[in-house]
Amino acid sequence: MQRISSLIHLSLFWAGVMSAIELVPEHQTVTVSMGVPATLRCSMKGGAISNYYINWYRKTQGNTMTFIYREKGIYGPGFKDNFQGDIDTAKDLAVLKILAPSERDEGSYYCACDIHPSAALLLSSSKTTDQVQWLTPVIPALWEAKAGGSRGQEIETILVNTVKLRLY
């Protein structure tokens, strides 16, 4: 009983910590010329960026949300050649560079974070892995990731306000 009570207490504490985290875009709108590199930045307030995995998504005019980048060099199909993601842990900053923007890159960009697997281990007595399987968005402002493992705990991600990229 002691162990279950501790786990519930820790889970409630962690939920409170997650709600205190905020991702803030450097600019709400970024306007660039076609072919001229663009840099989008997103800072983390209320937590250390090193405790989370950072993800970038793009939403186009057709309302299609597409995965671009997840830290540790994981790119969505077709993004690796023209996009470069990076994390500045000293400044708690996520960076996404678009090396040669074209018309198809115009849209809203989302910076999101989810719990680092080592932190997720605190929330469960079952073994989890580093593999993450992406699920369909629940609503535009909420994404879920499912941590691999015997019980498959769901981890809520925090989504920042959009950064609009406009080309001229």
Residue 162 above 60 pLDDT? no
pLDDT computed for residue 72 by the predictor: 86
Is pTM, for the whole model, over 0.75? no
pLDDT computed for residue 23 by the predictor: 84
pLDDT computed for residue 115 by the predictor: 72
Contacts of 88 (CB under 8 A, 6+ apart): 49, 94, 95
pLDDT-derived band of residue 86, with 50, 70 and 90 as boundaries? very high
pLDDT computed for residue 10 by the predictor: 35
pLDDT computed for residue 120 by the predictor: 45
Q: Which whole number is the average pLDDT over 56-81?
A: 89
Fold of 2-167: Immunoglobulin-like (2.60.40)
- Give, in order, the Cα–Cα distances in Å from 145 to each of 23, 26, 27, 141: 17, 25, 27, 14
- Residue whose C-alpha is closest to residue 59's, from 104, 109, 16: 109
